[in-house]
């Protein structure tokens, strides 16, 4: 499943990750062990796999379902 986050500066390889909606940094304790690993140098977006208790970095064009954060409005 895609989550709304990405590597802030993929070309810099500085391993800074942010949530798109808030711009806040990703808590480094949320990664699955061994991730983010930038497999094949192509993983710049955040996803999570079923059965894994942590985040993974994934290729941009992998076809996954997604989950987005939005603002909650009260009328």
Question: Residue numbers of the site for Ca ion (CB under 5 A)?
Answer: 7, 35, 37-39, 43-44, 56-57
Of 34 and 74, the one with the shorter C-beta distance to Ca ion is 34
Beta carbon of residue 45, minimum distance to Ca ion (angstroms, whole number): 9
Residue 35 structure tokens: 């991730």
Which uninterrupted H or E stretch holds 11? none
Q: Which residue number, 66 or 72, has a Cβ lying nearer to Ca ion?
A: 66
Shortest separation between residue 7's beta carbon and Ca ion, angstroms = 5
The residues facing 3 across adjacent strands are: 67
One-letter-per-residue 3-state SS of 21-69: CCCCECCHHHECCCCCCCHHHCEEEEECCCCCCCEEEEECCCCCCEECC
Residue nearest to Ca ion (CB): 38
Q: Which residue lies nearer to Ca ion by CB, 11 or 68?
A: 11
């Amino acid at each position: 499943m895609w989550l709304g986050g990405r590597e802030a500066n993929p070309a810099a390889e500085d391993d800074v990750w942010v949530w798109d909606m808030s711009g806040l940094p990703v808590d480094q304790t949320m990664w699955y062990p061994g991730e983010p690993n930038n497999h094949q140098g192509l993983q710049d977006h955040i996803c999570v796999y079923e059965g894994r208790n942590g985040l993974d970095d994934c290729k941009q064009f992998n076809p996954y379902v997604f989950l987005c954060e939005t603002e909650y409005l009260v009328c």
